[in-house]
Amino acid sequence: MIFVDTGAWFALAVREDPDHRRAAAYLEGLHGPLVTSDLVAVETMNLLRFRKRGAPGLEIADRVGADLWEGRAAKLVRAGREDILRAREIFREFADKQWSFTDCTSFAIMQRLSLGSAFAFDRNFDQFPGIHRVPR
């Protein structure tokens, strides 16, 4: 299983994104299940809505959100209490990093699920021990 971050979902959804071709090519060659989190789904919908202003952004956000929330794009994992507590520990432990709390929650979920690979363009995933970011 590979964890999918917001930036990858955004790149897949937005053809004008500089990472779109790399994301699409990587996904096409991927053989294995994808997993993402409810917090990543929320962040993705917000990013699509507000970076793609107006009706197109709302439509794309709604379509991608439906695929995420209904489990068509990936297995959706909900952040539980233990994930949030672990994310808070990560947030404090790595205070020198510029990681969002959503990133920290993703790291906590990845630890819980023993996932070592993240489909992400966010270089924060390079900084967390035990995670390999793809594609390179």
What is the tens place of the pLDDT at every residue in 8-55? 999 999 999 999 999 999 999 988 899 999 999 999 999 999 987 666
Task: Report the candidate in 85, 76, 54, 74 with the shortest Cα–Cα distance to residue 12.
Answer: 74
Distance set, CA 79 to CA 40, 83, 86, 93, 96 (Å): 10, 6, 10, 19, 24
Q: How far apart are CA 122 and CA 4, in angstroms?
A: 11
pLDDT at 90: 98
| Radius of gyration of the chain measured on its C-alpha atoms | 14
Q: What is the pLDDT of residues 69-98, one digit of tens each?
A: 999 999 999 999 999 999 999 999 999 999
- Can you name the residues that pair with 75 across neighbouring β-strands? 35
Looking at the predicted structure, is the pLDDT value of residue 115 above 70? yes
Q: Residue 55: what pLDDT?
A: 66
d(CA 120, CA 124): 9
Give the mean pLDDT of 58-63.
93
The greatest distance separating any two alpha carbons of the chain, rounded to the nearest whole angstrom, comes to 41
Q: Which domains does the chain have, with CATH numbers?
A: 2-79+115-134 (3.40.50.1010)
